[in-house]
Amino acid sequence: EIVMTQSPATLSVSPGERATLSCRASQSVSSNLAWYQQKPGQAPRLLIYGASTRATGIPARFSGSGSGTEFTLTISSLQSEDFAVYYCQQYNNWWTFGQGTKVEIK
Amino acid sequence: QVQLQESGPGLVKPSQTLSLTCTVSGGSISSGDYYWSWIRQPPGKGLEWIGYIYYSGSTYYNPSLKSRVTISVDTSKNQFSLKLSSVTAADTAVYYCARATMAPYAFDIWGQGTMVTVSS
Average confidence (pLDDT) over A90-106: 95
- State residue B31's pLDDT score: 84
For A34, which residue in chain B has the nearest alpha carbon? B106
pLDDT of residue B33: 86
Type and span of the H or E element at B108: strand B107-110
User: How much is the pLDDT for B110?
Assistant: 98
Rounded alpha-carbon distances, angstroms, from residue A73 to A48, A52, A54, B27, B55: 9, 9, 11, 31, 33
Residue B42 is predicted with a pLDDT of 97
Interface residues on A facing B, Cβ-Cβ cutoff 8 A: 1, 32, 34, 36, 42-46, 49-50, 53, 55, 87, 89, 91, 94-100
Phi-psi region of A3 (alpha: psi -120 to 50; beta: other; left: phi over 0): beta
pLDDT at B51: 96
Shortest alpha-carbon distance between residue A92 and chain B (Å): 9
- In this prediction, residues B70-99 reach a mean pLDDT of 97
For residue B100, give the nearest of B85, B84, B80 by alpha carbon. Answer: B80
Which pLDDT score is estimated for B29?
A: 93
Q: How distant is the Cα of A58 from the closest Cα of chain B, in angstroms? A: 12
Other C-beta atoms within 10 Å of A33: how many?
Answer: 29
Please tell me the distance from the alpha carbon of residue B7 to that of residue B20, in angstroms, as a whole number: 6
Note the pLDDT of residue B103: 78
Between chains, do A95 and B105 touch, taking CB under 8 Å as contact? yes
* Structure confidence by residue, pLDDT tens digits, A23-65: 999 999 999 999 999 999 999 999 999 999 999 999 999 999 9
DSSP 3-state of B46: coil
Are A44 and B110 inside 8 Å of each other by CB? yes
Q: pLDDT band at residue B119, thresholds of 50, 70 and 90?
A: very high
pLDDT for residue B75 is more than 90: yes
Residue of A nearest to B63 (CA): A1
The mean pLDDT of B6-18, rounded to a whole number, is: 97
The dihedrals phi and psi of B90, each to the nearest 5 degrees, come to -65, -15
Q: Which residues of B64-96 are buried (b: 16+ CB within 10 A; e: fewer)?
A: ebeebbbbebeeeebbbbbebeebeeebbbbbb
Q: What's the CA gap between A103 and B39, in Å, rounded?
A: 23
Mean pLDDT of the B77-99 span: 97
> What's the rounded mean pLDDT across residues B73-85?
96
Q: Which residues of B touch A (CB under 8 A)?
A: 37, 45-49, 60, 62-64, 96, 98, 100, 104-108, 110-113
User: Model confidence at B39, in pLDDT bands (50, 70, 90)?
Assistant: very high
Residue B38 CA neighbour count, 13 Å, CB half: 32
